[in-house]
Each structure stands twice: as C-alpha cells, then as structure tokens.
Amino acid sequence: MNDVTTYDERLLEQLRVGTERIFLSGTRNPTASRHSRLQASAPTARTGVVRRPPNGHEAEDIRQHVKHNTVHKYCKLCESMNVDPMLESSLFMALILLSRHNSRARIAKEYLESRGTQVDVDWDRVQDLPALQDIFSSSSDWATLLAYLCVEVEPAAREGLLADAVLQVLEANLRSVGLTEPHTPLEFTMMCLMYMMPAGTPSTKMLERHMTHCQLEFRDVEVKCLRAVAGFTDNMHDEELCAATFLRVCLATRVQPELLQDVAVVLDTRRADLQVLQGGTVHRTKLRDIVQRLHRNSEVRYEQSFDSWCCQKKFSSTTGLNVQRLLYFINAQSAAVDCSLFSDYFTTGMLHGLAMQELSTIDIEPVIAVITSIRVYNNNVKNLIDFRTKCLEGLNVKARVALTQAQILQLYICCFQHESIRERCWKVVLPVYNHSIQRACGRFRETYPFEIEAVIRCIITSHVMDVGASSVTGGRSSAARPAA
C-alpha cells in the first residue's frame, strides 16, 4: 500500500536551475525573498560593474603630492627672498628668517658668515614676516620641510652642545614628561628644538609631529608635548641665549640630498608648464583656414631657427643645451657683448663663433628659456633700481610689491630685447604690458645702456648652481666652476 516514489536527483537539480532561469529576464519572482530582490536590484548586479579593491599605492601617491606642493611653496618662498632653492643654505635661510626670534636677520647673517656662503638676500623683503608667512606658514608644510634635515654633530662640537644651557633645559623637560630616556641621543633634542622654531605654528603640534615622524608611540602624547613646551618656555627667558643656541644647532644640521632632487623636479615641472602656456590657445582646425593659408603662404622662405643656427655653429656633442641657448641669446642681442670677459666659462672656439653676423629672424623660444632660467639676482646691475621705479609705474601697488628681484631682472632683460620679440618676452614674465609701461621702457632705453655683461653673469650663476642640470662650461675643465 505504501508505495515509495523515487526521484532522480540529477533531474531535480536541472529542474531547479531551469526554474531560476525563468526569472532572469526581468520578471519578478513571487517566491523570491526580499533579500534576494534587494541583491538583484543592487547597482553592481544591474550594471555589471566589478568593485575592485583600493589601489595599494594611493597613500604613497598622496604623500608624494603633499611633498610636491610643499616643495613648490618652498621654491616660491626662496624666490621671494632672492635665494636659490638649489642651495642647501636656502633651507636654513627660510627656517631662520621665519623663526620666532626677534633678531632673525642678524642670526641669518651670522649663519652665512659661519658657512662662508655668499648669498644676496633681499633683506628689505625678509623684514616683512607676514608677507613671507602668506607663502609658507602651515604646520604640515613645515613638518614636511623639516623632515629633509638631519643632525650631524662633529666630535669637536659635541661637548659644547652637551653643555648648552638651552638644550639641557629642553631635554630635562622632555624627560620629566616621559618623552625621552636618560640615554636619549643629543641629536633628538636638537631636532625637537628645530621643530619648535617656525613662527606662526603651535610648538606643541610641531613637537607632536616630530614624535610621529620618528615613529615614537607614547600614551597621551599630546598632553606630554604640551607640558614639555610649557615647561621649556617658562624656564627660558633669555632671547640672546636662545638665539645663540639656535644658530649652533643650524650649523650642526645638514640637508638630505632628496630635497635638491625634489626641488629640481619642481623646477622642471614649472618650466614644462611655462612652455605649455607659451603654446597659446588651441583652436579647432577649419578647412577654410587651411585653404587661405595655402594661398597666402605660396612662397617658400628660409627662416633661421635655433636648430638651424646650432647646425651652422657645429657644436660638439659635449656642449649642453643650456650653453647653446645662452650663446644664441648673446647672439640675438642688439647691444654689443665683449665675449672676452667670459673666457672662464667658454672655450676659444665658442668665443670666436659668436662673431657671426646678426640673426635675420630671432627664435623666441631659446630667448625665453634663458630669461626665465634666472632664479636669483646678484646685485650687479647698477640701473635695476631706476628701472623698477620708472618702468613699472603702470602696475598697481600690489602687483609691484609682489614682484621678486629675479622677476624684475627678467623684465629688465625683456625691456632691451629686439622689438619683434619684446612684448612676447615681457608677457611671459608679467602679463601686463600697457601703454604706460611701453612709453616708460622706451624712455629708459634712451637714457640707460643695457648692462649685458652683468646680466650674463647672473644667467651663468643660475646655471652653474643648478644641481643635476646641464653645465654651462661647454666642455671646459670643472675648475672654472664654483664648487657646489
């Protein structure tokens, strides 16, 4: 009576799969659960987009982007102070001149004298601390920039630094709150002092960032840093003593090579962006424009470009691009140049080659490249102050104050260029070239001669100090170059 019905499991599996496929065409399955319907209506199920895990290099890319922005601000700060960002001393100039000390300029001059470095700092501009802080002032920027520093104490100076009263007070306060141990290296205390020096930044937060940079983990690190800074400021009231200690710490600190490499990358990026801006607006190609151009330019003319000029000069393979551009720039000037003054930088064959006839057509790209390569001013142009006061009256006060000495020198060079390229060169440096500026520059050219020798000295100085760039010695011995 009880018949047992036997089902083939393989047929049941096929029947179940077939039943599920019926509802994949968009009809609603009445027996499906609410959870299944929500999954089917999800965007990933509907569009077929596959969710990929986040990029493993995303955090590193963000760090590199932040570092690039910080170095870019640092280069702008150096330009404002008329110092070369490719020099190691420029970082210490920025740190000293934007420090909390009242005698910032005196400390900076003593640092340059101790290093034996000749830097033409714009001392009038560096007295305006708020203007410098508008360029570089955030805690993140200072923490990123100070990470390029490393303390290297010489054995002869270690005893004196260990006996320094300011460093002893700072180390005692750090030890009292539990941030250091009895055998903490002297270099750690010196870097703590460096992080606490930038003006306009909270010393507590900067000290905390230094702990994070050193990968030191403490409980209640924020409270401990606050107590350490408060104890240090309460016990140190001698401004002269603190300034002397700060100078000694700066002299015992070195800049890591990574900073100069990052600065070179930023400068190359800025040059590339400038070349893109020089290209002008991209217009859509139209057939009628092509036809009109063919009828208008039916004759074939020879124009002497920079490439053809280099071919005629037959430069050797060891002559860098910067040398070729500089020689072309000298040859493109209307004023006569005494090339014998630059025998330390160029070979005899190059100096004889400059005696070529005038250029029939001036290629503006190498001229602009030479003008914009100037990063610092060496205070060797006698009439530059007169140029600033007489030729820039067409600008408003804010625009004139924002110009750095290097930019004023660039405008001075543009003022004496050939009339066919003068306006284009000027607008690369400063987009304003109104009637007042044109008339003032015309009167200035009639009154004052072009100090081309001093200008070439500034250009050569910017090139030979450029780490990693092409040398401007043109294959001569490196003894003629200043030591890096």
Q: Is the separation of the CB atoms in 133 and 90 below 8 Å?
A: no
pLDDT tens column, 217-242:
778 888 999 999 999 998 888 889 99
DSSP 3-state helix, strand, coil percentages of the chain (rounded to 5)?
Answer: 60, 0, 35
Which DSSP letter does residue 52 get?
A: P
Q: Which residue has the higher pLDDT, 172 or 463?
A: 172
CA dist 394 and 432 (Å) reads 9
CA dist 378 and 361 (Å) reads 31
Tell me the residue ranges of DSSP E strands in 99-147: none
Q: Is the separation of the CB atoms in 315 and 442 below 8 Å?
A: no
Taking each helix axis from N to C terminus, what angle separates 221-235 and 203-213, rounded to the nearest 10 degrees? 130
Cα distances (Å, whole numbers) of residue 110 to 59, 114, 247 = 41, 6, 8
Q: Which two tokens stand for residue 447?
A: 């009154």
CA dist 74 and 57 (Å) reads 26
CA dist 12 and 29 (Å) reads 19
- State the pLDDT at residue 7: 54
In sequence order, which residues have a C-beta less than 8 Å from that of residue 198 and are 6 or more positions away? Answer: 95, 98, 99, 100, 137, 142, 206
| Helices H / strands E in the chain, number of each | 27, 2
Q: Is the separation of the CB atoms in 144 and 85 below 8 Å?
A: no
Which H or E run contains 255?
A: strand 253-255
CA dist 442 and 422 (Å) reads 11
- State the pLDDT at residue 277: 55
pLDDT tens column, 415-449:
999 998 999 999 999 988 999 999 999 999 999 99
| Nearest Cα residue to 426 out of 443, 435, 413, 440 | 413
CA dist 318 and 375 (Å) reads 25
* Residue length of the chain: 484
pLDDT tens column, 317-370:
778 888 888 888 888 888 777 777 777 777 777 766 665 556 778 888 899 999
Which H or E run contains 144?
A: helix 139-146
| Nearest Cα residue to 361 out of 324, 320, 308, 323 | 308
Give residue 126's region: left, alpha or beta (phi > 0; psi -120 to 50). alpha
- State the pLDDT at residue 483: 34
Please calculate the CA angle 39-49-40 and round it to the nearest 5 degrees: 15
pLDDT tens column, 9-42:
665 565 555 544 444 444 444 444 444 444 444 4
- The SS3 call for residue 99 is strand
